């Protein structure tokens, strides 16, 4: 059995990660991936992409992609950040007081319910597996910050401080504060990361490798296990 898995993602980092790492891996399991980045704004006469501004934008793109492929072998998933998630996201207020892992679990369930209420007449629940990243893509980099040296040479001291942090906090525990979210902590130590994170982040995550990402990021591992079985 094989399946075609459509990723609907928040931005370039996620798109590059799917194309570089997840897609080739899943292809070996007969799960053939493609990726669509959400459309969020208008500019220069065409729709821009990346970075969710409102849930309505995310929802429209999800539904559009699902309407485009109603075949039995089609599957769908998301890769959105908990950090700066739109406040009109389903279940946002109710989940706000929960611990991060419980929060994303509740938000994923609310997203699934909202989408399936619209498309349940042809999309069984098992064909849509929503995923929200704790707390943003750069949490994956904290699974093994030593691999930052593949992109940022001569930053040994800065990388050392990030390694120390990764030994104190699990990657998915690093918070969503405006100055303390995973990407903000990396940028504080390596300012150059800010200008190239959409390329450097996925490359570093690929260097880290899926076994380490799974071992250090349980919510990510749970999601990956769910989409792996689409090829069985």
pLDDT by residue (tens digit) across 59-106?
Answer: 999 999 999 999 999 999 999 999 999 999 999 999 999 999 999 999
Beta strand 128-129 with 74-81 is parallel
In three-state secondary structure terms, 85 is coil
Band of pLDDT at residue 40, cut at 50, 70 and 90 = low
Report whether 85 contacts 54 (CB < 8 A). Answer: no
25's CB contacts (< 8 A; 6+ apart) are 210
Tens-place pLDDT, residues 202-232: 999 999 999 999 999 999 999 999 999 999 8
Q: Which domains does the chain have, with CATH numbers?
A: 3-134+217-231 (3.40.50), 137-212 (no CATH)
205's CB contacts (< 8 A; 6+ apart) are 17, 21, 137, 140, 141, 143, 213
151's CB contacts (< 8 A; 6+ apart) are 196, 200, 203, 204
Q: What is the pTM of this model?
A: 0.93
């Amino acid at each position: 059995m094989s399946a075609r898995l459509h990723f609907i993602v928040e931005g370039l980092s996620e798109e590059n990660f799917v194309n570089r790492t997840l897609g080739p891996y899943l292809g070996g399991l007969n799960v053939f991936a493609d990726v669509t980045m959400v459309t969020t704004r208008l500019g220069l006469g065409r729709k821009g992409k990346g970075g969710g501004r409102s849930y309505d934008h995310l929802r429209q793109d999800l539904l559009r992609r699902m309407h485009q492929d109603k075949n039995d072998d089609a599957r769908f998933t998301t890769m959105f950040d908990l950090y700066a998630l739109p406040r009109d996201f389903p279940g946002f207020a109710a989940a706000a007081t929960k611990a991060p892992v419980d929060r994303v679990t509740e938000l994923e369930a609310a997203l699934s319910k909202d989408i399936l209420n619209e498309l349940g007449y042809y999309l069984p629940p098992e064909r849509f597996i929503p995923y929200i990243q704790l707390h943003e893509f750069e949490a994956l980099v904290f699974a093994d910050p030593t691999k930052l040296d593949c992109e940022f040479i001569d930053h040994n001291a800065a990388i050392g401080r990030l390694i120390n942090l990764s030994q104190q906090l699990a990657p998915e525990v690093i918070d969503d504060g405006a100055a303390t979210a995973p990407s903000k902590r990396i940028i504080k130590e390596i300012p150059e990361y800010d200008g190239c994170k959409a390329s450097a982040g996925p490359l570093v995550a690929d260097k880290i490798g899926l076994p380490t990402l799974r071992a250090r990021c349980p919510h990510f591992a749970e999601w990956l296990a769910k989409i792996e079985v689409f090829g069985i």
